[in-house]
Amino acid sequence: MYYCLIDCLALLVLLILNHDVVLKKAASDEESSKKNYRYFLYVLITYYFVDFLWAWLYEIQELDWLYLDTEVYFIVMAVSVWLWTRYVVSYLDINNSFSRFLKYMGGGLFFGVVMATPLNRFWPLMFYFDSSGVYHAGIARDGMFIHQIILLLLTSIYAFFFAPVSNEKKRQRYWTIGFSGLLIMFFVVGQIFFPTYPLYAISYMLGGCLLRTFVIENEREEYHRNLELALEREREQFNELNKAWTLAYKDALTGVKSKLAYAEKIEQIDREIAKGIRQELALVVLDVNNLKRINDTLGHDVGDAYIKEACRLICDSFKKSPVYRVGGDEFVVFLEQEDYENREKLLAAFNAVVEENRQHGAVVVAAGIAEYVPEQDNSCKRIFDRADEAMYKRKHALKMFPKTL
């Protein structure tokens, strides 16, 4: 019963090594090589069952069932060879005369066995059992194995020939197919001379282990490498998006928040007002005095420096509040929480600095403030309009740009 034990061992090895492949359902978008490998494994499982049953029936000499099982055995064997050729073509990703040769050889063996099986009942071309129940191989059976040997040998030669001149990914695949083909061929040769030995089962067990080791495991490594590359691309795209976000939401000249960021802030506040969850808020609208005169007389570079100096003054005065540049010389500050509570002190301190700057010919910025009134304001625009009006009153109250500039 050692024959049965070999089949059981081979089946267990296949299931242990390939349980993830065997139990996984084929997806419509799955690579053809993986599908063919799975189908090949399904046929191997069937082969081990049929071979196990053959050994058991041969042991108990149940000749009627043994004859039928032997017919199934050869058909399953031919199907396995056919699927193996299809797998090789898809795995090596070849589409040439040799790939067509493999398909024709694999398909030819299958159809030859299918045609020879019923004829064997009349002329024992493949096998027969004598009156003592002893199994005898026929010429067609030997021809089938020779067919496989030629197929495996040519495949291995082809793989070894193209392996050295292929890229790293394909080179590994060629070596795998080449060595697995030679390994299976070695045991097929032995099966010709020892027909009652489970050499064919051993060949598929060892060949399957080799395929599993180099095909699946290497493809997993390849998958991880591709995943790392994909993650790296994702990180690059994220960095690019982050840069784009920074450019979009950050004012290029001053570094404070941009007009786009201001528009989103307005939308947020309007939603909070509509929901009734906005409580304390004050807007400070600021305008840089005499920027046009500086641009016209001293140039835009000096004007840009003047805007940046004005922005520093605003940021230093309202350190805990977001500052937005909403126009060439216009800024808006949203006062919330602590800055809202200290809004009068902050604005007074800011205006004091502006007065001192005005006396010394430094940057002058007009500021106006307005508070959110729940019963009155249904949008942020109404708050802005009041702050903007207060800013213009302050602007006119200030003296014009000093001559010292």
Q: Is 48 exposed, middle or buried (0-12, 13-18, 19+ CB in 10 A)?
A: buried
Residue 237 has pLDDT above 90, yes or no: no
73-91: average pLDDT: 90
pLDDT of residue 322: 92
60-89: average pLDDT: 91
- Tell me how far apart the 2 most distant CA atoms of the chain are, in Å: 128
Residue 218 has pLDDT above 80, yes or no: no
pLDDT of residue 404: 42
CATH code that applies to domain 2-232: 1.20.1070
Residue 403 has pLDDT above 50, yes or no: no
Residue 371 has pLDDT above 70, yes or no: yes
52-62: average pLDDT: 89
Residue pair 210/185 in contact (Cβ under 8 Å)? The answer is no
Residue 102 has pLDDT above 50, yes or no: yes
pTM of this structure: 0.56
Closest alpha carbon to 350 in 302, 361, 339: 339
Of 28 and 40, more confident = 40
Closest alpha carbon to 14 in 40, 35, 38, 41: 41
Question: Quick one: pLDDT band at residue 240, thresholds 50, 70, 90?
Answer: confident
- pLDDT-wise least confident of 77-81, 158-162, 248-252, 255-259: 248-252
Query: What's the whole-number average pLDDT of the chain?
Result: 86
Q: What percent of the chain has pLDDT over 70?
A: 92
130-141: average pLDDT: 89
Q: What percent of the chain has pLDDT over 90?
A: 36
Question: Quick one: pLDDT band at residue 405, thresholds 50, 70, 90?
Answer: very low
Question: Quick one: pLDDT band at residue 27, thresholds 50, 70, 90?
Answer: low
25-34: average pLDDT: 68
Residue 229 has pLDDT above 80, yes or no: no
pLDDT of residue 217: 59
103-129: average pLDDT: 91
171-192: average pLDDT: 86
CA–CA separation, 356 and 359 (whole Å): 5
pLDDT of residue 29: 55
Domain ranges (residues) in the chain: 2-232, 259-397
Question: Quick one: pLDDT band at residue 343, thresholds 50, 70, 90?
Answer: very high
Q: What pLDDT, in 10s, does the model give residues 241-282?
A: 766 666 678 888 998 999 989 999 999 999 998 888 887 899
Sign of the alpha-carbon torsion through 353, 358, 364, 368: positive
CA–CA separation, 281 and 334 (whole Å): 7
pLDDT of residue 337: 82
Structure tokens at 85: 């050729």
Determine how many CB atoms are found less than 10 A away from the CB of residue 210. 18
Choosing among 3.30.70.270, 3.30.230.10, 3.30.360.10, 3.30.1330.10, the CATH entry for 259-397 is 3.30.70.270
Residue 312 has pLDDT above 90, yes or no: yes
Q: What pLDDT, in 10s, does the model give residues 194-217?
A: 877 888 888 888 887 777 776 665
Closest alpha carbon to 139 in 153, 129, 128: 128
Structure tokens at 48: 């081990």
pLDDT of residue 291: 86
Residue pair 21/36 in contact (Cβ under 8 Å)? The answer is no
- pLDDT-wise least confident of 173-187, 238-252, 358-372: 238-252
The DSSP code for 250 is: B
CA dist 253 → 243, 258, 327, 333, 334 (Å): 16, 10, 12, 17, 20
